[in-house]
Structures are given as structure tokens and as C-alpha cells.
Amino acid sequence: MMDFLQFFCSGLLNGLVYALLGLGLVLIFRASEAFNFAVGEFLVVGAFLFYFFYFNWGLPLLIALPLGLGAAGVFGGIVERSVIKPLMGRPHLSMTIITLGLSNILAGGLQATVGSNPYNFSVSLPDLTLDLGPLIFPSTNVWAGILSLAFFTMILLFLYKTRWGLVIQATSESQPKALCFGINAQSVLLLVWAIAAACIGASGIVISNLGALSSQISVVGLRAIPVVLIGGLDSIAGALVGGLIVGIAESLTGAYLEPAGLIGFKEVVPYFVLLIALFIRPYGLLGRVRIERV
Amino acid sequence: MLSVENLRVVYQEVISVLQGVSLKVPDGEITVLLGANGAGKTTLLRTIFGLLPVYDGKIIEGNVFLDGVSLNRFHSSVIVKKYRITYILEERPVFWYLTVDQNLKAAAFSRPNREISGEIARVLKIFPKLGSLMNTKAGFLSGGEQQMLTIGMALMTKPKILLLDEPSLGLAPLIGRELFGIIRNLNRDGLTIFLVEQNAHAALSVAARGYVIEGGRIVLDGTAQELIHNKDVREFYLGVAGGDQQRFRDAKRYKRRKRWL
Ligand SMILES: Nc1ncnc2c1ncn2[C@@H]1O[C@H](COP(=O)(O)OP(=O)(O)OP(=O)(O)O)[C@@H](O)[C@H]1O
Ligand SMILES: [Mg+2]
């Protein structure tokens, strides 16, 4: 029983990281109706930008973190202006497809600049190891959960408590309608991509801090696909729920099913859960119920 | 004064939709634009409001002027904020997944923060019914309520000129009448209105002047009174038979021959 609780809670902590990753994808999907397949590279780029400020320049964490996330945001903005904006007015699928190409280009660029070797990545944070007798959670995992939750909450507050957040919601629903009221839809999209890139970059930092940073961690980005599909591509709460489900499912599978012989099942189980979720609700568990009128 | 001079507009470089449209929207008046489906009414509004690029359209000749300044090159956000023109889309531009309150606030994006609560109070005075619906998602409102919200949202931008695209579309006659009453009141309070309509009767009854557009050209213009009594307008838009009674088949042939051109 205690074992189960241990694995369940570890999964929960990892799930929070996935949720943050999923949030970045949901924001983009709601605004541009595109799925960002370059999510893995966004994650690596974000982590390296922070690495640069924190480890190379040796800036204090509280300065390096905002700088790194800001730089990730600028990166997202550049992607929006150069790749996404030119496709405005074209079928939405074309944006999704171009992110596939972008993913390859960025992967090549990363290979050429930072290579594929791991970089030592341990941010000095106060020790928060949770030792509860039979249950023990390493400090990095606890920090991963806390930081992810903090970023997630910050973005939520921005989205639901500020004027700009409201305008993002409105523009995400319909660009022509937003234009009617003098909202500059293109600036809003730029902002959304910047926030989403910072969000994905933040999860990249957290993930690197669990082990090491290398361009290989871009595969974690792929795990965001079942996360957002389970929760609903357009649902922010869905990103949280989907993230937690995937985190827990992975952890429990790794603990119970893999030792029983199902080697590698951990990688597959999110898709397995996805299949079940889509049977129950085709738009994802919390996918927005479409308001239909005739 | 808003005016349009010899405007020629194409979509996708080749589809010619407006072929030399000129008209004037005098300050403080309601000007109505009548025309059949596909005549180019919405295209004209998009042009005035700087939305053509969004639809892959382009001005190839002519100008939109506001008090002598050409608006051709401006983005819609500048037209709202600086030139105080607001456009209400044909499909009511309420945000379905936002509440009425959030819709009003989102529409006030171009206004300074401190003015917003005052503006909302003003809108609720005009549309008291919205007050009880503040926390309802706009997608769940009735067509009439959505239309009220739409106009309320347009007012949140504090426009001097309102471009309305077929506001009575899909509304029950009674609500339609209420709507035209509201339009008239807004105009009395000083708002200049450019009204695109197919409901010619109601539109001409509130308007000062009107134009008829057909196939991308203005084919008729005059005061609302002149238009109401014009034989062709009566026949095509008001559904009143022409003076001398003809047999139905003749009338149809006559209509086909006479396409305003
Ligand atoms: N984005 C576009 N691309 C190409 N052609 C278009 C586009 N939008 C409109 N058109 C064409 O331009 C013509 C005029 O359209 P417009 O929407 O301006 O007409 P309308 O007078 O508003 O008609 P309705 O009364 O049906 O609203 C139509 O033939 C239409 O097919
Ligand atoms: Mg139209």
C-alpha cells in the first residue's frame, strides 16, 4: 500500500510538469488552431537559453530565470512572426504541418550548435526532500512539482484576471470578431506564442533539473501529445488533468507492469489511456463542449 | 464626414467585386445601403474598416476618406481607436464562450481602464435586459439578446461612426422593430450610422439618405423619401407591385430585363 502511495505521488509530481507542457500546447491550439509539433525543440531551446544565463554567465537564479523565460518568449515570438503569421488565412492544417518541418529544422540547428552530449544541469535550490517515513520524495522532484504548479498558476492568473488575458481568450475564439472591436489580433497571437514558448521552456528547465540537459530531452515533448489529447486540445483544465493522468499512469506502469515483463510499456501507456479517454469523450475529457446553434 | 470615392476592390487579385463605388455618409445621419445578396455590401464595409487584407482582398483604385484623410492603409485597430469607426459583422460578433460582462470588457479593449465601468453602466441603461444576463455565456443568449449585446459591445468602443451589416437578419419582426427603434435613438444621441440592410422598409423608415448597390455599382441614390417612392425600389425591395398591373409572366420578364444596369 505504501509502495502504491509512493509511486502514485511521484507520478503526481511528474504529472505537474506534463501539465505545464500541455498548457503551452493548449494556449497555441486555442489561438492558432494549430498543434505545435516542435514542442520538443521548444523545450530544449528554452532550457538552453536558461542554461546560458544561469550556468554560463553565472547570473543569480532570480535573474537568470526571468531572463531565460523571457528569451524563450522572444524565441516563440520569432517563430510566430516568421513561420505562423505568413500562413494566416490559410487552412489551419498547414500551420500544424509547418510545425513538423520546423521541428526538424530546429533539431538540426540544435545538433549543430549544442550537439547531443548531456550538459550538467543542477540548479542550486534549497533542499526540500520530503521524508515521510515510508514515503520519500527527492528534492528535485518536489521542486519540479512546485515550480510547475507555480508557473501554471501564474499563467492562469494572467489569462483569467487581466485585460490582456481576456483579449487573448476573445481573440482565440474568433479573430474576425476581435478585429471588429479594434483588437489587434496579430499582436495577440504574437503574445500567445511568446507565453506558450516561455511555458514550454519552463517545463524544459524543470525537466533538465531532474537529470541533465541535452537535446535528447526533446522526446519528452512527444509525451505532451497524449497529455493534451486526453484532457482536450482546447482545455486548460484538461492540460492539468491530462498531465496528472499521464504522470501517474507512467509511474504506476513503471513500478508494477514493467517488472512483470512488459518492458517499455511505460512509453506506450499514455496512448493506451488516451484511447480509453477518447472512447469516453471524443473531444478529450475536458474538451470544450461546443455551443451549437442552428 | 465618411466618404468613399470611386472604389474598386478585388479579391485574390482577380475577383472584381466593387467597380467604382462612390458614396457619402454625412455626420449625424443614418445612411442606408440596399442591395441584393452578393452585391458587394459586406465587401464595402470591410474596405472602409481596413479588413480587406484579412480576406485576401485589395483596393485597386479609389479611396475611403474620413474628413479628407484617406483611411486606405490603416489597420482596423487604428480605425477603431483613432478614427472612432466600429464595424458590426453580419454574423453577430459576440464571443460565445465569454460571459456578457466579459464580452463588454473585451470590446472596450481600445479604451482606458478607468472608463470601462462607466461605459458598461451606460450600455446597461440602453439595454437594461443585459444587466440580468451579465454572467451568462453569450453563446446561450437568444438571437435578439445577442444583437443587443453586439450593439452594446460596439458602444463600448465609443464610436463616432457605426457600420452595421444587416442587423435585422434572422430576428423576429417584433425584435427587428425594437432594434430599428434603438438605432434611431442612438442616432439621435449623435452617432453617425451606415446601415447595410435587406429589410428596405424598416431601414428606409429610419434613414435620411440611401443608396442601392447592384453588381458592385451604385445604381440609385437619394433621400429616404425619394427611395421609398421610387418605382424600382418599391418593386424590388419593398415588394409593392408597379403602377400598371401586368400579368405575372410579363412582370418577371420585365424584372429580368431591368437589372438596374
Ligand atoms: N473572401 C472572398 N474571396 C473571394 N470572393 C469573395 C470573398 N468575399 C466575398 N466574395 C464575393 O464577393 C461578392 C460580394 O460579396 P459580399 O459579401 O460583399 O456581398 P453582400 O452584398 O454582402 O451579400 P449578402 O447580402 O449575401 O451578405 C460575392 O460574389 C462573393 O462571392
Ligand atoms: Mg453581406
Q: Are B103 and B138 in contact (CB under 8 A)?
A: yes
Please tell me whether residue A162 adopts helix, strand or coil conformation: coil
Residue B121 has pLDDT above 50, yes or no: yes
- Give the mean pLDDT of B222-246: 76
What is the model's pTM? 0.89
- Looking at all shown ligands, the one closest to residue B54's CA atom is 1
Mean pLDDT of B109-129: 94
Nearest CA to ligand 1 atom 28: B38
Please determine, for residue B256, whether its predicted confidence score (pLDDT) is greater than 70: no
Contacts of B105 in chain A (CB under 8 A): 163, 166
Pocket of ligand 1 contains residue B35 by CB under 6 Å: yes
CATH number reported for the structural domain that contains residue A195 in this entry: 1.10.3470
Are the Cβ atoms of B54 and A179 closer than 8 angstroms?
yes
Asked whether residue A292 is domain-assigned, the answer is no
Partners of B114 in the β-ladder: none
Domain hosting A28: range is: 2-280
pLDDT at residue B7 above 90?
yes
Higher-confidence position of A70 and B37: A70
pLDDT, mean of residues B178-189: 95
CA–CA min distance A26, chain B (Å)? 16
Q: Kindly state whether B228 is in contact with chain A, defined as any CB-CB distance less than 8 angstroms.
A: no
| Structural domain count, chain A | 1
Q: Which residues of B touch A188 (CB under 8 A)?
A: none
Q: Do residue A166 and residue B98 have CB atoms under 8 angstroms apart?
A: yes
Give me the pLDDT at residue A90, please: 79
Fill in the DSSP letter of residue A136. Answer: E
| pLDDT attached to residue B260 | 44
Residue A143 grid cell: 521542486
Residues (pLDDT < 70) of chain A are 289-294
SS3 of chain A: helix, strand, coil, percent, to 5: 75, 5, 25
Amino acid letter, residue A87: L
pLDDT at A292: 63
- Residue B79: count other Cβ atoms within 10 Å of its Cβ: 24
- Residue range B131-173, pLDDT digits in tens: 999 999 999 999 999 999 999 999 999 999 999 999 998 888 8
**Residues B44, B35: Cα–Cα separation, whole Å:** 12
End-to-end CA distance of chain B: 29
